[in-house]
Amino acid sequence: MARDLAALDYTVDAVAELLGPEAHAALGRDQVVPALVATRVAGEDPVREPLGAVVRFFLLARPLAAAALDAILPSVRSEGLMALGLASSESRTAPHDAGTLAAAVDLRPYSWDARDGEREVWVASDLAAHQRQGVLRRDHVLGIGQASATLVQATARRPVDRALDLGTGCGIQALHLLEHARHVVATDISDRALAFARFNVLLNAEALRVDPDRPEDRIELRKGSLLDPVAGERFDLVVSNPPFVITPRTPSERAEDQFTYRDGGLPGDQLVSTLVGGLGEVLAEGGTAQMLGNWEIPAGQAWHERVRGWIPEGLDAWVLEREEVGPGQYAETWLADASQQRDPAAYEDAYAAYLADFAGRGTSAVGFGVLWLRRPAEGQGRLDRFEHLAHPLEQPIGPHWAAAVARADWLAQHPDLASERLLVAEDVTEERHQRPGAEHPGVILLRQGAGFRRTALLSTELAGFASACDGDLTAGQIVSALAALLDRDDPAFRVGLLAEARSLVEEGFLGPADGRGSAADRKSGSVRDAVSVNREETA
């Protein structure tokens, strides 16, 4: 199968080129008609038709004649597709045509930037709502959705010995972990999910440097709930896109009534809180965990107060809340996710059950975000940070998150910032705003163009400090020069300005010069030049 797909050049770039920008973007929104049109046009070109046919079959879920599949996939052929469970003889348009096959799965190319170049793989999962009729099957195995992409982008990648992918689904997180972990354990409660994950590892064994005869040397697949399959073990990195969706529970509910890819089977947000509370038992010293989650926000309580209560003693925590929605919008999102609106009567009952469930616990909103946890090693800082960031972040955010944690560790190791030389980060710009006709600006801002894309409001003194951070002078020398120029030579001024500077380092506007030496050849201005523009404003 892998040989046939490679021969077809079934890659992300080739598919994008075949479809064209508009149809490719529409397919990303689950709209298949523009892609159907594009593949029909491609079908008129004998060179492009094989790739167009594979796209129609696996991405657009349109049936193909067995003879056509035999021609474009000559090694695996239609018999092999059926043996692998990738195709079925049942066709939506021609159910009685024995010579026609329909895709039984979504099989798509996927790529990412690896350390040694771009990594190209193929990922199989169940057909999504736009590719099939009716409500999704309860053991549906999700493909590369928005949530899984969010976790991929948020994970701080680093070489590790052992990594855990908890709730692996189709295995997308595990595929990424194999890039930088010596050994990976992937768990799931669903047999079907583990089968997809195993298939995807074997299909991409060569690209992932996995021996197909001994895949267990690099990756183990284990069945079980939450941390049960790894009890007593320790990992350097844990990632999880768990079934965090909050869904109403009923007394008569059975496990087979739940959508296993998203429903945790526990009331409210108990699955996420339980998982977070147990992560301390599996993290090695210096080990980190990154996971997605939902949390209920009780009326009259801040979201971070509730989530902070989940963090085990001794673990660092940095939680980003990316979105908050009301109970109604939350219900609509997840009912549509499983195509439950296709059964109007069931949709009405389910929607009402969501509202009653949230009301029963006094839930006023639901938050969604990313959690970063660490068991700190000696010399590392302590983090207890909870923030709501709804604006767009640079993706992938993982490398920037890792850099932010490294800065926090650096600050912990350098409590006296006065003796350190600092530099303004390369992506930082300054903005000054003033009313028409005003002599001096009323607002001075620093903005990050990358990473978390934060904005900092500066006093004129802090703006002068930042302007002088070119690596030449220590922070203490800059503060002393500012104090002299602004006639503020009192201890409170010095302590306060160094504390504000420390915050700018923490947020990534400033960073340590890292021994790069003098920046005089890059920036010839002195401290006096940097602050003279602020002197009259301060006065």
- The pLDDT value given to residue 168: 96
Comparing 158 with 244, the larger pLDDT belongs to 158
The three-point CA angle 326-331-337 to 5° equals 130
Among residues 144, 146, 141, the alpha carbon closest in space to that of 126 is found at 141
Phi, psi of 392 (to 5 degrees): -65, 135
What does the H/E/C string look like for 285-342? EEEEEEEEEEEEEECCCCHHHHHHCCCCCCCEEEEEEEEEECHHHHHHHHHHHCCHHH
**99-108 per-position pLDDT tens digit:** 899 999 999 9
- Please check whether the domain covering 140-408 is classified as CATH 3.40.50.150: yes
- The pLDDT value given to residue 260: 62
- The pLDDT value given to residue 395: 94
* Cα–Cα distances in angstroms (integers) from residue 482 to residues 417, 465, 474, 529, in the given order: 16, 8, 12, 11
- The pLDDT value given to residue 140: 85
Within 155-302, residue ranges assigned H as helices are 172-177, 191-203, 205-208, 270-278
Domain range list for the chain: 2-110, 140-408, 416-538
Q: What is the mean pLDDT of the chain?
A: 89
Determine the Cα–Cα distance for residues 60 and 51; give it in Å rounded to an integer: 13
Comparing 405 with 522, the larger pLDDT belongs to 405
- The pLDDT value given to residue 90: 64
98: confidence class by pLDDT, cuts 50, 70, 90: low
253: confidence class by pLDDT, cuts 50, 70, 90: low
The answer to whether the beta carbons of residues 340 and 347 sit under 8 Å apart is yes
Determine the Cα–Cα distance for residues 58 and 358; give it in Å rounded to an integer: 39
For residue 494, which amino acid is it? Answer: R
Comparing 500 with 441, the larger pLDDT belongs to 500
**4-22 per-position pLDDT tens digit:** 999 999 999 999 999 999 9
Comparing 152 with 135, the larger pLDDT belongs to 152
Residue owning tokens 């018999």: 79
**Average pLDDT over every residue of 30-48:** 90
**Average pLDDT over every residue of 489-499:** 93
Tally of helices (H runs) and strands (E runs) in the chain: 20, 19
Determine the Cα–Cα distance for residues 72 and 80; give it in Å rounded to an integer: 13
* Cα–Cα distances in angstroms (integers) from residue 309 to residues 246, 290, 294, 369, in the given order: 19, 17, 14, 16
- The pLDDT value given to residue 339: 72
What distance lies between CA 304 and its chain's CA centroid? Answer: 20
Determine the Cα–Cα distance for residues 207 and 328; give it in Å rounded to an integer: 44
pTM of the model: 0.88
3-state percent helix, strand, coil for the chain, nearest multiple of 5: 40, 25, 35
**288-305 per-position pLDDT tens digit:** 999 999 999 999 999 999
259: confidence class by pLDDT, cuts 50, 70, 90: low
**205-221 per-position pLDDT tens digit:** 999 999 999 999 999 99
CATH architecture assignment, domain 416-538: Alpha-Beta Complex (3.90)
- The pLDDT value given to residue 509: 97
- At residue 66, does pLDDT exceed 70? yes
**508-527 per-position pLDDT tens digit:** 999 999 744 333 333 333 44
